[in-house]
Amino acid sequence: MPAKRFMAKIIRIGTSAGIIIPKEILKEKSLRLGEKAVFSIVITENDRHALIQKMWGSMPDLGPFVRDKSDRMERLFPDPHPKDKKRVKQVSQ
């Protein structure tokens, strides 16, 4: 079932909140009062940008992110001539 975007008004229902869904949407999606439905909240590009700026603002002196891959490189490509020969196990045949 394809997603349908629409604006909804948030209203107070006791101490909770709810949204008003247009009658046309209810009919189109075959929804009735009392049924359960799954909704998603869309984060707009402006909201996403503000969130990133807020997170980045908490560490203003932090430079660009550089991934440390040194542990992977050592596992994938072990040094064939280790400097510490005592640590190398000798395999006898």
Task: Give the domain ranges of the chain.
Answer: 1-57
5-19 exposure pattern, b = at least 16 Cβ within 10 A, e = fewer: eeeeeeeeeeeeeee
Strands (E), 1-93: 9-13, 16-20
pLDDT value at residue 12: 94
| Tens digits of residue pLDDT in 25-38 | 889 889 999 999 88
pLDDT confidence of residue 14: 92
pTM: 0.41
pLDDT at 15: 94
pLDDT, tens digit, for every residue of 65-83?
777 777 776 777 777 766 6
